């Protein structure tokens, strides 16, 4: 049983070159809360570093069909921000290693609320970080200030190959949880070029601008992909669509937890053999 303290914890504390760290994405509400608790217990036992937990929202322009279908299932269950914050409290009380970063869409979940109050409530739930999806540029400064005042670390996003130097600098400046470097522009889970082959240039660029950890996502679904991200110098790999697909397959097989456990076994890099003693 984890601590009742809800102080945010470093998502990727320290940096150990060559050691892969992993953040996994799921929509809250898909699977249901009881199954989610069991899945996150599995993550914690497997030493998965971070769960990027999305408050579901409709019609995402950045997500492919697998993640969008998951969001629809979650919304059909009535999943909203208050319910997700209650879930975060449960997850925080049952984990010791896995950190929880909340992804919240501006238009669907935050715009109808008092922003300062929502930031305080997210912080109070025990979330270790916040990523605001679709935040209007004019509100970025205020949102960052509110999160700093509340002691809520933030994730900032930029895109390999397409973001401007100004965007890279802003992400590096404002990130207090980590910088999420999107490996390629497009929808999650859809075919694209091998961006991981060239992503090191953007990782190095961010290293010059910030001490915040750098996590790379999009197009990552296997243990080999995770190793390639680590080899590119990033602190962590973010796995999204493959996680959601494991849940979807489990729903079809009537064994969501078992399906996700099998997925974790395939995903987590095999432990390296110990070096012989001299």
The residues assigned a catalytic role are 52, 63
Hey, what are 137's tokens? 């540029």
152 CB burial (10 A radius; 0-12, 13-18, 19+): buried
Compute the 3-state secondary structure of the chain and give helix, strand, coil in percent, each to the nearest 5.
45, 15, 40
Distance CA 105, CA 121 (A): 15
DSSP per residue, 66-101: HHHHHHHHHHHTT--HHHHHHHHHHHHHT-SS-EEE
Assigned token pair, 250: 């489990």
CB-based contact 106:133 (threshold 8 Å): yes
Angle at 49 between CA 161 and CA 143, to 5 degrees: 60
For residue 14, give every residue at least 6 positions away whose Cβ sits within 8 Å of its Cβ, in sequence order, or none. none
State both tokens at 213: 């950890």
Closest CA to 2 of 84, 123, 87, 91: 91
């Amino acid at each position: 049983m984890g601590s009742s303290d809800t102080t945010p914890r470093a998502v990727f504390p320290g940096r150990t070159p060559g050691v892969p760290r992993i953040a996994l994405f799921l929509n809250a509400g898909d699977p249901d809360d009881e199954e989610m608790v069991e899945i996150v217990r599995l993550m914690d036992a497997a030493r998965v570093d971070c769960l990027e937990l999305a408050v579901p929202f409709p019609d995402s322009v950045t997500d492919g069909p697998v993640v969008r279908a998951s969001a629809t299932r979650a919304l059909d269950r009535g999943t909203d921000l208050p319910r997700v914050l209650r879930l975060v409290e449960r997850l925080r009380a049952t984990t010791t290693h896995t950190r929880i970063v909340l992804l919240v869409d501006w238009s669907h979940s935050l715009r109808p609320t008092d922003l300062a109050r929502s930031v305080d409530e997210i912080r109070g739930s025990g979330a270790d970080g916040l990523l605001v999806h679709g935040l209007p540029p004019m509100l970025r400064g205020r949102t960052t200030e509110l999160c700093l005042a509340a002691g809520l670390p933030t994730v900032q996003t930029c895109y390999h190959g397409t973001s401007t130097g100004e965007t890279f600098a802003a992400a590096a400046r404002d990130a207090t949880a980590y910088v999420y470097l999107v490996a390629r522009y497009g929808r999650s889970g859809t075919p694209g070029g091998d961006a991981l082959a060239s992503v090191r240039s953007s990782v190095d660029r961010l290293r010059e601008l910030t001490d915040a950890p750098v996590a790379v996502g999009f197009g990552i679904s296997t243990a080999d992909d995770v190793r390639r991200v680590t080899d590119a110098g990033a602190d962590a790999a973010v796995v999204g669509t493959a996680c959601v697909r494991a849940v979807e397959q489990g729903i079809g097989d009537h064994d969501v937890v078992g399906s996700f456990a099998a997925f974790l076994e395939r995903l987590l890099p095999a432990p390296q053999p110990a070096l012989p003693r001299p």
